[in-house]
């Protein structure tokens, strides 16, 4: 039986694709202005990665210039999303589970908190943590360990739920915590995880049966 769920936000509670056009429009325009048209495939790949991963990581991987990095950072540091948002319908299954829940998400603090507000999910969590590389060197792994230590949970008590095998899933595996990879499009068939599913009903079974 599990006593605590630790959730990611983007593409775990809601689909980033539902807001990407409005949220990233200015950033994508900035990228188009700075990257060479000849690198169109790389440009589109970078844009796709930005809907799933922190800007700083994508900028480094795709070799953004210092000017583009700086302008992108200035834009994202001050942006919020203030339009109605809807979580996945399946999120109701997680919401109904009566164990402690924590939200741990990577990104710009103002932006991530605005998403939480517009989704109306703040009250679902005992704690909300934003891993913001601009404000702290802490990682998701550090936060997971902090949650466990501060609240007296063991690794066996917890289940980490997310969509990214290289982020929250990897951090949980390194701490010996069971993982649930939400994979609705079957992208990560070879990922090292405890559980993998497109259905949050499975989490109910995991929590109650252990």
Could you tell me the pTM of the whole model? 0.91
**Do residues 30 and 131 share a domain?**
no
Task: For residue 87, count other CB atoms closer than 10 A to its CB.
Answer: 19
pLDDT of res. 61: 92
pLDDT of res. 209: 81
**Do residues 68 and 93 share a domain?**
no
d(CA 156, CA 140): 18
**Do residues 110 and 198 share a domain?**
yes
pLDDT of res. 191: 87
d(CA 24, CA 28): 6
**Do residues 52 and 144 share a domain?**
no
pLDDT of res. 189: 75
Domain that holds residue 189: 4-14+83-209
pLDDT of res. 54: 85
Strands 4-7 and 158-162: parallel
Name which of 55, 63, 58, 69 is nearest 23 in CA terms.
55
**CB 5, CB 144: distance < 8 Å:** no
* 153: Cα separation from own chain's centroid: 22
**Do residues 140 and 171 share a domain?**
yes
**Do residues 73 and 32 share a domain?**
yes
**Tokens 């200015």 correspond to what residue?**
26
**Do residues 119 and 27 share a domain?**
no
Q: Which CATH number covers residue 116?
A: 3.40.50.1000
SS (H, E, C) the chain: CCCEEEECCECCCECHHHCHHHHHHHHHHHHHHHCCHHHHHHHHHHHHHHCCCCHHHHHHHCCCCHHHHHHHHHHHHCCCCCCCCCCCCCHHHHHCCCCEEEEEEECCHHHHHHHHHHHCCHHHCCEEEEECCCCCCCCHHHHHHHHHHHHCCCHHHEEEEECCCCCHHHHHHHCCCEEEEECCCCCCCCCCCCEEECCCHHHHHHHHHC
**Do residues 198 and 142 share a domain?**
yes
Q: Could you give the number of structural domains in the chain?
A: 2
Collect the ranges in the chain with pLDDT lower than 70: 36-38, 210
**Do residues 121 and 68 share a domain?**
no
**Do residues 72 and 87 share a domain?**
no
């Amino acid at each position: 039986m599990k006593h605590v769920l630790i959730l990611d936000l983007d593409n775990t509670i809601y689909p980033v694709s539902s807001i990407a056009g409005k949220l990233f429009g200015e950033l994508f325009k900035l990228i188009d202005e700075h990257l060479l048209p000849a690198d169109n495939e790389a440009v589109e790949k970078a844009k796709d990665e930005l809907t799933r991963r922190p800007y700083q990581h994508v900028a480094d991987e795709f070799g953004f210039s210092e000017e583009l990095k700086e302008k992108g950072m200035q834009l994202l540091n001050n942006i919020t999303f203030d339009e109605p948002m809807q979580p996945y319908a399946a999120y109701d299954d997680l919401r109904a589970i009566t164990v402690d829940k924590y939200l741990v998400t990577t990104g710009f603090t103002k932006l991530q908190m605005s998403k939480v507000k517009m989704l109306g999910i703040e009250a679902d969590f005992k704690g909300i943590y934003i891993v913001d590389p601009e404000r702290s060197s802490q990682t998701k792994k550090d936060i997971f360990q902090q949650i466990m230590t501060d609240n007296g949970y063991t690794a066996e008590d917890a289940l980490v739920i997310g969509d990214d095998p290289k982020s929250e899933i990897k951090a949980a595996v390194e701490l010996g915590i069971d993982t649930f990879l939400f994979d609705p499009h079957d992208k990560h068939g070879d990922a090292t995880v405890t559980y993998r599913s497109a259905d949050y009903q499975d989490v109910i079974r995991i929590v109650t049966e252990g």
